[in-house]
Amino acid sequence: MSVSALFFIMIILPIYSAGEVMQSISLDSHFQNSSEKYHFVVLQNDTGGWFYAIKKGVKNFIVQKSIPVVQGNKAFSDSIQAKKIANLVIEKLNQGIFPPTIKESELDSLNITY
């Protein structure tokens, strides 16, 4: 198998197989500090909704494609709301809270629409 075919199978195919169009990626610089264990990216899905991935180093640790605690698969309506919850999750992880469960009252206090 050629190197280019292997690259396609290992790198490109999983991105398209996930069914997500990565139209926008935003890394919160606050969590790029090397002393922090976690950081996040915010992505837009193929239907225009937003979600986040919590990363530990370069690996995905949590991929949250829907608003936590909300029944169904509703994505965040904008990247700012996804960032707010991703920051809260990282805050909990850094405090040793695992799983970093989000409560409905926390969604409300951060003005998350659901």
Best CA proximity match to 44, nearest among 56, 36, 54, 52: 52
Q: Where are the domains of the chain?
A: 19-109
Residue-wise pLDDT tens digits, 71-109: 999 999 999 999 999 999 999 999 999 999 999 999 999
- Structure confidence by residue, pLDDT tens digits, 5-24: 333 333 433 333 344 444 44
Mean pLDDT computed over 19-35: 42
Return phi, psi of residue 107, to 5°: -60, -45
